[in-house]
């Protein structure tokens, strides 16, 4: 594709950014650096039948479970547009784990840069450079000829281009009889927008009627929305690549009648979208930190990350995970690293009927549209193996801070302020590629609270400002079983403050060092029962958790005294008793026999 994305350009915000800072210690995988391995909860295997090395540009499934892929075509060495080497393949037996038993058949070649694919009732629809086209294998012979009769290969809609290198049609999602996608801006060498654009409808989101091909331009101001996804509610999101006027890569909701930030200077007649209401990205993706060329996302419909999104990145590499929350009518949220270890730069994702995540990969040796050191092609899959990792599941905005929810309970020292560092900055939108970071400042975490399950941590932070992106880094935080985080960082786009308390303060921990003496409570055994002697003048909560941090029981009181657990209430094993009183906490471990 010969995309030229300067790797050094910061990809961050059209608004301001709040960052929970990096310390000066050495980098490690997942900590201010790329992940290096496959996520522990998944097993990676090949989906490339012998003889097929595809540079994947689109994917979907037929009703019988066969996988359809489109490719840019050619030898993967130079993908210089415009190209007419695009191909479509149909792969069989992809549900098994042995790729040598998979087979493939080439359905068609000679396509013009297909960068989107959708199957509707076993008809294959493609977003080509200049057209929305449809493929139907009417006689079942597994071949579609571009010269065949109408109905086998046909163009539903055609679009004008100006002969520039970057004039792509991205997509596709389908809803209620219409396809949705986008026409990228026409870009010159170096990634700058052509001035003026060669025709008036570049940089637009489009809605195309399947029955007639009638095209409606519904929003504008995009640059290169490389991938699309639709959630079960019918809401459509796209990724966006940084560049001129877009100092941030982004994950954004597609809405009719909105402007997405990239003006079209010099147009005659003037571009109508530049005056429409601005649509802020739901999630900003800082370049080199977490993104360079984000691809097609996929919606997660089950499991511990249900309701979230995954996307791959051709240049940054690997797969990242996006979580969202809705504030009023608008979405906002953040991103964390999810998995690495793939053979190429990840461009397309699709869940198979059996739940496997198919991972399509691509690259271009002419320029830097590739993951360094990786192949320029690849087709693999991630299969869930039942394991889990300690990581941030989601982050939520609160009026004076941020609430982090983890996949596993956190260690007892998670209430220490030193486990979290905070900084902030913003970016400036300019006509040059990317935007500089400005107004950097250090923020102060003033209080940390941990809920009773020990899976939620609330950070109260001075200096939070709506319109900022929040970057949170965990510093030495461990799980209750001593595990290190799979990745220590998240980037949260704070377009607006959430409402409500993070959790019931009466069961949260906000320790004040030195307030509780070591003899504030004692553990004893009375006739086979575990007992506690509490010495405090204030109301207290005494929680007992198992070795994994799961809550076993909770005792509450208002004054000193003895407390006994019921006989047989604790299975043999190791436990931790935590006394919370007067805004402080004290933990002691013990064994039950």
Q: Where are the domains of the chain?
A: 41-304+348-384, 521-592
Mean pLDDT of the region 225-253: 95
Strand residues in 282-353 grouped as ranges (E): 283-285, 294-299, 309-313, 319-327, 330-339, 345-351
| Structural element, H or E, at residue 133 | strand 131-135
Residue that wins the pLDDT comparison between 271 and 201: 201
Facing residues of 325 across strands? 332
Higher pLDDT, 317 or 590: 317
CA distances from residue 535 to 454, 524, 566, 588 in whole angstroms, order as listed: 24, 14, 21, 15
As a CATH number, domain 521-592 is 2.60.40.3080
d(CA 33, CA 30): 5
Give the pLDDT of residue 418: 92
pLDDT at 159 over 60: yes
Q: Nearest Cα to 123, choosing from 207, 206, 63, 54?
A: 63
Check residue 507 and give its pLDDT: 44
pLDDT at 90: 95
Q: What number of other Cβ atoms are within 10 A of residue 577's Cβ?
A: 22
Q: Domain 41-304+348-384: state its class.
A: mainly beta
Q: Which tokens go with 516?
A: 């509780």
Residue 197: which pLDDT band, with cuts at 50, 70 and 90?
Answer: confident
Q: Are 201 and 186 in contact (CB under 8 A)?
A: no
pLDDT of res. 74: 58
Residue 451 has pLDDT above 80, yes or no: yes
Q: What is the per-residue pLDDT across 74-109, written as a single tens digit (0 to 9) for each?
A: 555 545 566 678 899 999 999 999 999 999 999 988
**3-state SS class at 412:** helix
Kindly report the three-state secondary structure assignment for every residue of 68-84: EEEECCCCCCCCCCCCC
pTM of the model: 0.82
In this prediction, residue 20 has a pLDDT band, given cuts at 50, 70 and 90, of very low
500 vs 461, higher pLDDT: 461
Q: What is the mean pLDDT of residues 179-200?
A: 86
**Residue 97: strand, helix, or coil:** coil
Q: For residue 353, how many other CB atoms are within 10 A of its CB?
A: 12
The CA distances from residue 459 to 395, 397, 426, 447, in Å, are: 11, 10, 21, 6
Q: How confident is the model at residue 537 (pLDDT cuts 50, 70, 90)?
A: confident
CA-derived radius of gyration, the chain:
27
pLDDT category of residue 154 using cuts at 50, 70 and 90:
confident
Q: If you search the block for the tokens 């996988």, which residue do you land on? A: 67
pLDDT for the residue 530: 87
pLDDT at residue number 26: 62
């Amino acid at each position: 594709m010969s995309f030229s994305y300067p790797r050094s350009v910061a990809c961050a915000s059209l608004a301001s950014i709040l960052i929970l800072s990096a310390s000066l210690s050495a980098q490690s995988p997942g900590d201010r650096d790329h992940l290096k391995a496959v996520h522990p909860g998944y097993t990676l295997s090949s989906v490339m039948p012998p003889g097929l090395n595809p540079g994947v540009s689109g994917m979907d499934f037929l009703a019988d479970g066969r996988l359809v892929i489109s490719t840019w075509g050619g030898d993967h060495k130079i993908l210089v547009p415009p190209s007419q080497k695009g191909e479509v393949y149909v792969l069989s037996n992809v549900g098994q784990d042995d790729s040598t038993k998979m087979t493939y058949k080439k359905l068609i070649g000679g396509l013009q840069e297909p960068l989107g694919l959708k199957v509707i009732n076993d008809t294959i629809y493609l977003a080509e450079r200049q057209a929305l086209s449809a493929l139907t294998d009417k006689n079942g012979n597994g071949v579609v000829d571009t010269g065949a009769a109408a109905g086998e290969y046909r163009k539903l809609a055609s679009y004008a281009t100006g002969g520039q290198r970057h004039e792509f049609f991205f997509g596709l999602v389908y809803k209620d009889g219409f396809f949705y996608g986008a026409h990228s801006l026409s870009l010159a060498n170096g990634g700058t927008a052509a001035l003026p654009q060669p025709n008036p409808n570049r940089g637009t989101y489009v809605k195309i009627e399947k029955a007639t091909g009638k095209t409606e331009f519904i929003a504008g101001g995009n640059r290169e929305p490389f991938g699309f996804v639709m959630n079960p509610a019918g809401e459509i999101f796209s990724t966006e690549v940084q560049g001129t006027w877009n100092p941030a890569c982004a994950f954004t909701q597609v809405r009719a009648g909105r402007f997405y930030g990239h003006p079209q200077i010099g147009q005659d007649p003037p571009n109508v979208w530049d005056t429409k209401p601005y649509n802020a990205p739901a999630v900003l993706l800082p370049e080199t930190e977490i993104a360079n060329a984000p691809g097609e996302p996929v919606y997660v419909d089950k499991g511990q990350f249900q309701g979230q999104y995954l996307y791959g990145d051709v240049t940054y590499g690997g797969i990242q995970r996006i979580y969202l929350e809705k504030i009023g009518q608008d979405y906002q949220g953040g991103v964390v690293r999810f998995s690495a270890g793939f053979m190429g730069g990840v461009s397309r994702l699709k869940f198979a009927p059996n739940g496997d995540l198919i991972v399509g990969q691509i690259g271009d040796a002419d320029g830097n549209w590739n993951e360094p050191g990786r192949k320029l092609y690849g087709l693999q899959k991630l299969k869930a193996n039942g394991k889990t990792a300690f990581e941030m599941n989601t982050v939520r905005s609160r009026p004076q801070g941020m609430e982090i929810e983890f996949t596993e309970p956190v260690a007892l020292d998670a209430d220490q302020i030193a486990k979290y560092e905070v900084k902030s900055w913003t970016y400036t939108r300019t006509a040059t590629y990317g935007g500089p970071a400005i107004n950097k400042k250090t923020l102060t975490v003033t209080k940390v609270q941990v809920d009773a399950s020990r899976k939620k941590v609330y950070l109260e932070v001075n200096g939070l400002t709506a319109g900022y992106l929040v970057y949170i880094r965990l510093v030495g935080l461990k799980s209750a079983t001593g595990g290190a985080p799979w990745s220590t960082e998240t980037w949260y786009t704070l377009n607006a403050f959430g409402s409500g308390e993070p959790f019931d303060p009466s069961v949260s921990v906000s320790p004040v060092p030195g307030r509780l003496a070591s003899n504030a409570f004692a553990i004893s055994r009375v006739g086979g029962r575990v007992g506690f002697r509490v010495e405090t003048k204030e109301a207290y909560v005494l929680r007992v958790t198992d070795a994994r941090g799961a809550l076993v029981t909770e005792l509450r009181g208002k004054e000193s005294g003895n407390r006994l657990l019921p006989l047989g209430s604790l299975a043999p094993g190791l436990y931790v008793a935590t006394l919370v009183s007067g805004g402080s906490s004290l933990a002691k471990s013990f064994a039950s026999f």
